[in-house]
Amino acid sequence: MSTTVRPLIAGNWKMHGLSAELHEIGAIAASVHARPPAADVLICVPATLLSRAAQIAAGRIAIGGEDCHAEVSGAFTGDVSADMLKDAGAAAVIVGHSERRLHHGETGPMVAAKAKAAWRSGLSTIVCIGESEVQRRRGDALAVCGDQIADSLPQDLARSGTAAIAYEPLWAIGSGHVPTADQIAEMHRHLRTCLVALAGAAGASIRILYGGSVTADNADEVLGLPDVGGVLIGGASLLAVDFDAVLRCVPEALFAPA
Ligand code: 13P
């Protein structure tokens, strides 16, 4: 973990969660309040839960959206703008998740436009990238992810210091297969080089999260790797007990917040 960057421990609920599950947000918020980790904590939830989740979180943890439209408003039935997420209480948004790239045909330029919209609305942005299993086997992983940074992360956003990158190899998502420590370290080192090339000094402090089958069993090792600035957690963020166990892998803050 970079010593200069406070890690971000983020959850992504994906298309999971009804009103009945909101108590999990309350439990995570209570636990963070009782035992503050030395990390920023964010849970990204479906748009239907956002405003209630934000109320329940009561500022103890941040709540985010999982996607936004690139336009501020307009005739886009079913879509949600970054302003709407912010209005509902979101502090952040994920863009370019591989599930959106895959199932909704999102391209790098589309992701970059969404990231810009989020930035304009004052949301922190997590831009997701990651290679497929085939690309990794072919030896193309570093090049693919470098290209995704170049086309999905606008340079002015990178320079603003409000974006994070989530490296999520597609083959690690929901599979229980986590890359080796060497593979993660190699990729994060490469991404850091790309970010510095893109954004100069600001690129050195952009958080690069790892995502893909993160649980309490591997978070300790992952968070200890150089240039890993946090984790993005799917399945293990749905239950407070699992998410808390990951948070316990981060050292406690010396002082509780006022
Ligand atoms: P899992 O942690 O369930 O593998 O999901 C990772 C992910 O896609 C987070 O965005």
* pLDDT tens column, 77-105: 999 999 999 999 999 999 999 999 999 99
pLDDT at 243 over 90: yes
User: How many A from CA of 108 to the centre of ligand 1?
Assistant: 20
- Catalytic status, residue 168: yes
Pocket of ligand 1 (CB under 6 A): 12, 97, 168, 173-174, 211-214, 232-236
User: What confidence score (pLDDT) does residue 258 get?
Assistant: 40
**The two three-digit tokens of residue 245, written as one number:** 């166990």
| Top mutation candidate among 8, 13, 14, 103 for ligand 1, by most atoms within 8 Å of CB | 14
User: How many A from CA of 230 to the centre of ligand 1?
Assistant: 13
pLDDT at 2 over 60: no
| Least reliable range by pLDDT among 3-7, 123-127, 129-133, 188-192 | 3-7
Q: Whose CA is nearest to atom 7 of ligand 1?
A: 234
User: What confidence score (pLDDT) does residue 257 get?
Assistant: 47
User: What confidence score (pLDDT) does residue 223 get?
Assistant: 96
**The two three-digit tokens of residue 16, written as one number:** 């999971």
Domain ranges for the chain: 8-254
Question: Of all atoms in ligand 1, which is nearest to the CA of residue 211?
Answer: 6
Question: What kind and span of H or E run contains 12?
Answer: strand 8-12
| Top mutation candidate among 9, 103, 168, 215 for ligand 1, by most atoms within 8 Å of CB | 168
CATH superfamily ID and name for 8-254: Aldolase class I (3.20.20.70)
Vertex 122: Cα angle to 101 and 169 (nearest 5): 30
Active-site entry in 97, 131, 188, 190 = 97
Digit-coded pLDDT (tens) for 224-237: 999 999 999 999 99
Which carries the bigger pLDDT value, residue 107 or residue 3? 107
Digit-coded pLDDT (tens) for 129-170: 999 999 999 999 999 999 999 999 999 999 998 999 999 999
Q: Average pLDDT of the chain?
A: 95
Active-site entry in 69, 168, 188, 190 = 168
pLDDT at 205 over 50: yes
Distance CA 242, CA 213 (A): 12
Distance CA 93, CA 124 (A): 6
pLDDT at 73 over 50: yes
The structure's pTM equals: 0.96
Average pLDDT score over residue span 242-248: 97
Distance CA 209, CA 228 (A): 6
- Catalytic status, residue 97: yes
User: What confidence score (pLDDT) does residue 4 get?
Assistant: 56
Question: Is 214 in contact with 232 (CB distance < 8 Å)?
Answer: yes
pLDDT at 256 over 60: no
